[in-house]
Homo-oligomer: A and B are copies of this chain.
Amino acid sequence: MTPSVVSDLSETDLLARIVPLLPVGRATLLPSGDDAAVVAAPDGRVVVTTDVLVEDRHFRLAWSGGRDVGHRAAVQNLADVAAMGARGTALVVALVIPGELPVAWVEDLARGLADVCAPLGVGVVGGDLSGGSAVVVAVAAHGDLEGRAPVLRSGARPGDVVAHAGVRGRSAAGLALLAAGLDEVDDGLVAAYLRPDPPLEAGPAAAAAGATAMIDLSDGLLLDAGRVATASGVVVALDDPATCFRADLDRLAPAAHALGVDPRDWVLRGGEDHGLLATFPAGTVLPAPFVQVGTVRAPSDDAWVGVLVDGVRPTGSAGWDHFAGGPQPR
């Protein structure tokens, strides 16, 4: 009998199906299979972060296949590594799965992790499996700073250039299309939600180019830019989105029209594109694919720090608070 759901298999047998699908990675000194793995940390430091995806909070089984969820889990973690200016080296994955989940779904999850990790030389070096009532994918990701200082959120200085790498609003638009049952309007946007594809290698490139601050845009441009502003004690002054995000707005226009929404909301407030926002000293030759989207200013007389959009303080919700499960009041 071919096992169809995970409860047909023991943990050992399920692992035997998953492990061969996972990449070993450039920095892997000892792969999975013992009590722990060993990963190279050539400069004597390791970047570490963790991010979790929860069924019916971050994805729905009806919309996302295992390969999509594996892809997103790897990307959202490696984007945090990239935002420090580091190059990803290894992931470990704790996976909670209901017994009725198809075995093929779990194999696809491994393939989705590998789709992202293998081309980057990132290994999936360990994991843990447990039963549970809903799917949970908790990843910890590791990276190599290659001798550089980490790029913090707190380093932006007045006069710096604000630059963005990646796409804006596509993940939010794709999710909105799925939620409205209009996913046939633009399957490219739906794909951008299901499998975001940010320029992860722009993170170390930004660090090498002298980035003063950087953040992964997981919760929306306004919210995450606000984190840089707060941590740095500055004003992040974004240019008019109609200019600096023109290509994104054009790309989103048909879907926005179909849903009757303003595409600027997706650009400014949409999360999970996992682009990078970085600041650089004025005059820096920006590494591709970064483009300037604003400038850093000193706090004004009232000491207010935050984000301006085309000179104006934005009103309404800034972005997404995953824990509260709804837009977060400013």
Number of interface residues of A (CB under 8 A): 74
Known: A10-B328, A35-B153. A48 touches B96 (CB 8 A): no
Task: Tell me the chain A residues, 144-158 only, with Cβ under 8 Å from chain B.
Answer: 145, 150, 152-154
9 new A-B contacts, CB < 8 A, other than A35-B83, A38-B145, A39-B46, are A10-B321, A11-B322, A30-B150, A34-B231, A35-B153, A48-B125, A50-B93, A50-B140, A129-B323
Decide yes or no whether A316 CB sits under 8 A from chain B.
no
Residues in chain B near residue A215, CB distance under 8 A: 35
Task: Tell me the chain A residues, 11-65 only, with Cβ under 8 Å from chain B.
Answer: 11-12, 14, 29-30, 34-52, 54, 56-58
Cα A92 to Cα B140 in complex, Å, equals 7
Residue pair A38, B45 in contact (C-beta under 8 Å): yes
Residue pair A133, B134 in contact (C-beta under 8 Å): yes
Decide yes or no whether A142 CB sits under 8 A from chain B.
yes
Task: Tell me the chain A residues, 124-142 only, with Cβ under 8 Å from chain B.
Answer: 125-134, 136, 138-142
Question: How would residues 253 to 268 of chain A score, 1 for a CB under 8 Å from any chain B CB and 0 otherwise?
Answer: 0000000000000000
Known: A10-B328, A81-B36, A215-B35. A126 touches B96 (CB 8 A): no
Residue pair B44, A37 in contact (C-beta under 8 Å): no
Q: How far is the CB of A52 from chain B (nearest CB, A)?
A: 4
Residues in chain B near residue A7, CB distance under 8 A: 324
* Option from B14, B54, B80, B95 in Cβ contact (under 8 Å) with A131: B54
Residue pair B84, A34 in contact (C-beta under 8 Å): yes
* Option from B127, B231, B322 in Cβ contact (under 8 Å) with A50: B127
Cα A39 to Cα B138 in complex, Å, equals 20
Decide yes or no whether A177 CB sits under 8 A from chain B.
no
Cα A103 to Cα B330 in complex, Å, equals 23
Task: Tell me the chain A residues, 55-82 only, with Cβ under 8 Å from chain B.
Answer: 56-58, 80-81
Decide yes or no whether A325 CB sits under 8 A from chain B.
yes
